[in-house]
Amino acid sequence: MSLGVFLQPVSVAMGWSRAGISAASMFAFLCLGISSFAWGAVSDRFGTRAVVLTGGALLGAGLAAASQAEALWQFQLLFGGMVGVGAGSSYAPLIAATSNWFIRHRSLAVSLVSLGTGVGALTVAPLATWLIVGHGWRTAMLALGCIAWIVVIPAALFLRRPPVPPKEGEPTADAAAGLSVAQALRTPQFAAIAFTYFACCAAHSGPIFHMVSYAMVCGAPALTATTVFSVAGLGALAGRIVSGLLADRVGAKPVLITGLGAQALAIILYDFTHDLVRLYALSLFFGFAYGGVMPLYAILIRQYFGSRIMGATFGAATMLSTLGMAIGPLVGGWIFDQFASYTWLYAGSFAIALGAIVIAITFRPPRHAWVTA
């Protein structure tokens, strides 16, 4: 997610278009999505530790290799392929493992684990900007690769398999009990969740990726513009915690629909926000909205399909969502290259965000059979 802060420095240093650099993000999300399904299925069979260890090593290698690219196609291939596949090993397998470890307060547990994404935006983006300003983009990206090795690989050693038998009072979806992965993926419940996830990510990916660039267009210096992105990350941290608490109390669906509405409102307001103080406030609100909805898809998947195929089913939903994440950065870069403005990016993202709300409303409440150990 830190590639957004590299966008302008790399474009200036290498003479590459913003659309071309943004394409690397698109390829990364495509590879992340495709690999998430595979990583999730492997984690169901062999456990999360082996998956995250392998992916963490690949993530660091991809960042290190991309930092040495001399041509745009090399950068797109290395960042898009290696970094994308490496990153795919983390989110879906870790969230699936978390949802299987916890029964009471499961939504909060998933939200707390997903805080890592927000922490990354809050800390890594300013660090990368500081490194870029002081040492250039290549050194900055190489440093991020080393950090990935130092942090992810040792942390993965602490991962353990969750208990296999359901604990007393655990709800399992009776309609989905015994379904294979292939059968689950053909259900209308999965389609509704996955396509909402897709539209949600397609809506917010462009505004997130181009947030730093937009702040600079509005006149903010590079380091200050990065803090706008960090404020959104801070909002996302708070949004995850609040949505987890609310979902445990009132259910994931109403919290999801409310969050999607807030996300749509925040996106369209960007086109009318140009001074720094209002950008901070809006980015905090936007981060709270998009951060809050992200853990809820895993909760809905778990409610519908249970723990046995959680890794594969959530990995498949994540695969579709990353197709949405891949669209925004590239389209946003093309729009800016053509019009020197992000107006059409925000208008299009707003329309897609409204579509996500419509799809989310079609969710049917899952029916649960209460199983005792």
Mean pLDDT of the chain: 85
pLDDT of 367 reads 55
| Overall average pLDDT of the 53-75 stretch | 92
Contact 368, 174 (CB under 8 A): yes
How crowded is residue 321: how many other Cβ atoms within 10 Å of its Cβ? 29
| Residue 70 φ/ψ region, left for φ over 0, alpha for ψ in the -120 to 50 degree band, beta for the rest | alpha
Under the banding of pLDDT at 50, 70 and 90, the label for residue 301 is confident
Six-digit token string for 219: 């006149």
Burial readout 186-224 (b: 16 or more C-beta within 10 A, e: otherwise): ebebbebbbbbbbbbbbbbbbbbbbbbbbbbbbebeeeb
Say whether pLDDT at 175 is over 60. Answer: no
173 forms beta bridges with 368
* pLDDT per residue as tens digits for the range 96-143: 888 888 878 888 888 888 777 767 767 887 888 889 988 999 999 999
pTM for the full predicted model: 0.74
CA proximity to 229, closest of 323, 129, 308, 132: 129
- CATH for the stretch 3-159+176-365: 1.20.1250.20
Integer Cα distance of 310 and 303 in angstroms: 10
How crowded is residue 130: how many other Cβ atoms within 10 Å of its Cβ? 13
